[in-house]
A and B are shown apart, each in its own frame.
Chain A
C-alpha cells in the first residue's frame, strides 16, 4: 500500500486504522508497539486541566506482569510532574539549561508587572535581531522572529502582550539557522528532523503546477500529513512571482523550488529526517538539555542549528511531543520512536517477539470513548505462539444470510482473528490467523459442520501475507451489492412463501370438499372409533 519510495517502517504498513490517521497516530503507534509485544493495553477517558480549561482526553496504559505505565500521547508516567511544569515554562527551562551549561539564546524574561519600556531598555543591550515570545504558550503561538529595531519591537509587544494577552514574555537573541527537533530518550538521540517549507523538485519536464499535484498525491498516502495538502493560493503566486516564477514554470531536473516562506506542516511544510547528518556534539547538547531537567527521561529538544558554523542552541524542551514526523518523514529514514519508548519503559520486553502481523481496532471503539458512552476499554491481548495466516476461499451453494455469521461464531470459538467477506454470491473469502492447531480445527469445522450442502462445498487455501486486525468481522463489501443480494434472497423467499400458502389453501379446500362429501359423513362413526387409537402429538 505504501509507496516504496519512502523509507518508512515496514511493520507499520497496513497497520494504521483510518481513525488513527493524523494527530492520533502518535498515541496509536506507541500503543501498537507495546501491544504487539504482548502488553495489556487499555484506553480510558480523563478530564484534564489545561491552562484553566478542562478537556476530555483519551489516554492509554500498558502493563506487563502487573507493572503498569500510563501514557499521555507520547509521554509516559516516568516523566515527573516537576519536569512537565518546567517544560511548559520557557523561562524556567532556560534557567535549568543555563545551570547545566547548555547553550541557549541570550535573553531575559519579563513578568506581567514589567512595563514595555523596561523591555525596550533591555532590547538596547542585545545584539539585533531578536525574537519575542510568550513564556508559556505552545505551538509557536505569538512568537515574533527577526525583530531588528525599536519600532518593530513596539509593534510586536503590542500584538503579543495586548492583543494576544500573553503578559509574560521572553526577549532573546534571534539565532539564524534551521529549526530542528531532536528526540531524546534515556541517554540516546533516536531521531532528528527539521521542517522545510513546501517545495517541489524538478524533473526537467513537468511544471510546478503538475509537480505540486504529484506531491499532494504522495501526501495523501502519508498517515500524518494526509489531511494537509499544499494549497495553490495567492500567497504562493506572490512568492513565486517574487522569484520570477509562475505555476507554469518548469524547474530543471534536481532543482528544489520552494513555494512559500512558512515551514508549518499545514502550509505544506515537510518533515525531513536528518538524524544521520547531525554532528555528535549537537546530539550531545540535546542529551545534556534533556538531562538538565530533573525527571525527564524522554523528550524532544528544539534546537536552532547554524548550517555554516554547526553551532546549536536549545530553544525549547517538549515533554509531550508529537512523534509522527519521525515515523513518516518526506525525506530520509523513519525513526522508530515507539520502539525506543517501549524499550525504555518495559526493558524486560525487548526480547519479546513482536507480532507484526496483527494490529488492533481503533475505528469502532474510539467514537464510544469520545462520546463518553464508555469510560474505559481493554483491547484483547495479541495472540501468543506461532501464528499461521490463511486465506480460505469457500464456494458452493452458499446462502446469502446466516452462513457468514456461522463462520464468525466458529472463528470466535477458536479465538481466531480475521474476517469474512463475500465478493460475490456463492463465494466467500475467509481470512484467519492463529495457532496452527486452531486453524486446522477451524478448517475441519468448515468442511464437516457448515450449515450448507456439504457435498457441494469447495474450500481452497492459500497463505495470507498482509496484516490482520484483531477480532473477527463480517465485511460487507459494497453496501449496494449486499443489499442486492438480500433483495434477491427476499424475493426468492417471498415467492416460496407465496407458493406454500397457495398449496396450503388448495389442500384445505380439498379437505373441506372431502369433509362435505357424503362418503366422509357416512364414515364418521368409523373415524371416531379410530380416533381412540390415534396417536396425539
Chain B
C-alpha cells in the first residue's frame, strides 16, 4: 500500500477523474505520450460508430492519430473491436454459446426469462444440481448476481428477490464453481495483466474489533485511487453475513484469523485486488486468450475466470473492461494495460518514441467542458517527444502586480515550453518550465531575468524540477 501509483502516473495526473473516465484517460495518455495526436469528443456517435456502453458516455470517446491512420476509442475499447463483439459480451447467454463452440470451458447452465414457468426453471436447476449461481443475462458490475446457492429454498428466495429488486427480465442459472476469482486482460493473444479478487475481509490482530479493522482497511483503501470510492460499507449485508458466522461488528477476531464480510468477491463491494500476472498458469492463460479468440471481432478484453486445481472456467468477457484495477492493485505489481493496447493499435510506435512519464494533459478540466457541452470536440497539443528536462526558477524583485505571470506565460508558450507560474506569499514569483530541448529550458532563466517592462527583476534562483508537468503553461492561483 506504500506505493499507490505506478511509476508512469501521479496523483496530479488523474486527480478528479473517476470511474470509467479513468480508463479513457489512461489509454489516451499512453498513446498521446508516444506522439499520437489526441482528440476528445462530447459524443462519439458524431464521429464514429463505436458502440457506447454504460450510463454516462459523455467525454469517454477519443481518437489517436499518427498521420497515416486514426483509431477511435471508447473507454478502454478501440475500433478494431466489432460492435457485434460488444453485443455478444453484453449477453452472458451469447457469450456462453460462442465459448462452447470454440471449446472454451464455461459453467454448465441455462437461460430463462421472468415470464417463464418458475417451477420448470427450478426443476431444471435441481436436475443440474447445487451449488448454483443466478445472474442476469445483461447485467454488469456484479449487480444482481447471487453465487453459491445451495438449496431449493435458497433458490426460490433469491429468484423472488432478483425479480422484485431489479428490472432485469433475462436470467441465467449455472453451476457454481469453487475457485479463485480472476480478471485477466488479454490483448493480441497475450495475457498482459491478471488480478485475483478476494472477497472483502479483515485479518484479526487479537486487539481490534471487526468494525475497527474495517475502518483501518478503509483508511488504506482511501489512499488507493482505484479503491478510494470502493470502501467496505458496514451495511446490513455485512452485519447479516457476520451474524451467520455468529459474529458482531464489535467482535474481536484472533490474531491472523481471516473474517470474510461478504459472499461476493467484487472489488466494488470491498474486495481486494491482487496482481498475479507473473503467477498465471498456462491453463488460465490459454483459457483467457481462447475466450477472446472465441468471440468474432474481439481482439482485446477483460476475461473473468474461475480457476481451481482442475480447471479454468470462463465466466464472462468484458470488451469494454475497466483497466484501472491493473494499475492500482492492493498487492503486487501494477500492469501497464494501456501500453499493450497502444502497441496493438499502433505497433509502429513501439519503442520508437522516447516517451516521458512526467508529461500529462488536463483531462479533468476537459471533461468539465465536454460535460457542459460547451465544446463538441477538442484537440490536445502534441506531447513533447523525448526526455523531459525541467527547471524551477524563483524570481525576486518587483515582480508581483506588474504583469509578470502573463508575460512569462507568453514567453514560455512561444518557446514551446510547458509548466506553470505562481505568485508566492513572500513577493517572489515561481516559474516551472519543461521541454525536451535542454538549452531552451536553461536559457529561460535569462528570459525570467529580463521580465516585462514594468518589472524590476533582482535575482533568479534556479532549482531542479523532477515532478509531473502538465502540457501548456498555466497561471496558478496564489497559495
Contact = CB atoms under 8 A, between A and B. Distances in A.
Asked if A and B bind, the verdict is: yes
Interface of A: 44-45, 47, 53-56, 360-361, 364-365, 368, 371-381, 409, 412, 417, 469-473, 504, 508, 511-512, 533, 535-537
A471 B474 contact: no
B426 interface: no
B379 A376 contact: yes
Contacts of B151: 533, 535
7 contacts: A368-B366, A368-B472, A372-B418, A373-B362, A373-B380, A374-B366, A537-B241
Nearest to B410: A56
Given A373-B361, A471-B374, A512-B248, A368 B369 contact: yes
Contacts of B470: 373
Contacts of B443: none
B244 A380 contact: no
Given A364-B369, A368-B365, A380 B375 contact: yes
Given A56-B410, A361-B375, A535-B154, 20 more contacts: A56-B413, A365-B375, A368-B365, A368-B378, A373-B361, A373-B362, A373-B366, A373-B380, A374-B366, A374-B472, A377-B376, A377-B379, A378-B375, A380-B42, A381-B376, A417-B373, A473-B374, A536-B263, A537-B240, A537-B241
Nearest to B150: A536
A374 B410 contact: no
Chain A CB within 10 A, most for which of B58, B153, B373, B381: B373
Nearest to A54: B414
B474 A371 contact: yes
A470 B373 contact: yes
Chain B CB within 10 A, most for which of A368, A470, A504: A368
Contact of A508 (B157, B158, B250): B250
A409 B42 CA distance: 13
Contacts, number: 121
B299 interface: no
Contacts of A512: 248
A361 B373 CA distance: 9
B56 A409 contact: yes
A360 B378 contact: no
Contact of A533 (B153, B375, B379, B413): B153
A379 B376 contact: yes
A412 B373 contact: yes
A384 to B, nearest CB: 14
B406 to A, nearest CB: 10
B269 to A, nearest CB: 13
B262 to A, nearest CB: 10
A381 B373 CA distance: 11
A377 B413 contact: no
Contacts of B280: none
Contact of A371 (B42, B263, B374, B409): B409
A371 B409 CA distance: 8
A54 B417 CA distance: 14
B372 interface: yes
A434 B266 CA distance: 42
Given A375-B380, A412-B58, A47 B414 contact: yes
B249 interface: yes
Chain B CB within 10 A, most for which of A364, A372, A469, A511: A372
A55 B410 contact: yes
A508 B475 CA distance: 55
B224 interface: no
Given A535-B157, A536-B150, A536-B154, A372 B381 contact: yes
B374 A365 contact: yes
B374 A372 contact: no
Interface in B229-269: 237, 239-241, 243-244, 248-250, 263
A365 B366 CA distance: 9
A379 B372 CA distance: 12
A504 B470 CA distance: 48
Chain B CB within 10 A, most for which of A54, A380, A511, A535: A535
Interface footprint category on B: 35 or more
A377 B410 CA distance: 20
Nearest to A501: B234
B249 to A, nearest CB: 7
B372 A374 contact: no
B374 A360 contact: yes
A53 B447 CA distance: 14
Nearest to A512: B248
A412 B55 CA distance: 12
A472 B382 CA distance: 29
B473 interface: yes
A255 B374 CA distance: 48
A451 to B, nearest CB: 14
Given A536-B148, A537-B240, A375 B381 contact: yes
Contacts of A472: 372-373
Contacts of B263: 536-537
A365 B239 CA distance: 49
B170 interface: no
A247 B303 CA distance: 83
Given A368-B362, A508-B249, A511-B248, A375 B369 contact: no
A378 B376 contact: yes
Given A54-B414, A373-B471, A374-B379, A471 B241 contact: no
Contacts of A371: 409, 472-475
Contacts of B250: 508
Given A511-B248, A535-B154, A372 B365 contact: no
B373 A471 contact: yes
B206 to A, nearest CB: 20
A283 B8 CA distance: 65
A366 B248 CA distance: 57
Interface in B117-168: 148, 150-151, 153-154, 157-158
Given A55-B414, A373-B470, A508-B250, A470 B374 contact: yes
B277 interface: no
A449 to B, nearest CB: 13
B150 to A, nearest CB: 7
B250 to A, nearest CB: 6
B236 to A, nearest CB: 9
A372 B150 contact: no
B176 to A, nearest CB: 12
A473 B244 contact: no
Given A56-B410, A537-B241, A374 B157 contact: no
Contacts of A368: 362, 365-366, 369, 378, 472
Nearest to B263: A537
A53 B407 CA distance: 14
A83 to B, nearest CB: 26
Contacts of B361: 373
A151 B306 CA distance: 98
Given A47-B414, A535-B151, A377 B375 contact: yes
A378 B471 contact: no
A364 B380 contact: no
Interface in B439-479: 470-475
B63 interface: no
B377 interface: yes
B413 A372 contact: yes
B388 to A, nearest CB: 16
B41 to A, nearest CB: 9
A41 to B, nearest CB: 9
Interface in B168-185: none
A376 B378 contact: yes
Chain A CB within 10 A, most for which of B157, B263, B375: B375
A419 to B, nearest CB: 10
A537 B240 CA distance: 9
Contacts of B241: 537
A444 B382 CA distance: 45
Contact of A379 (B375, B379, B409, B475): B375
A432 B42 CA distance: 19
A364 B374 contact: yes
B68 to A, nearest CB: 20
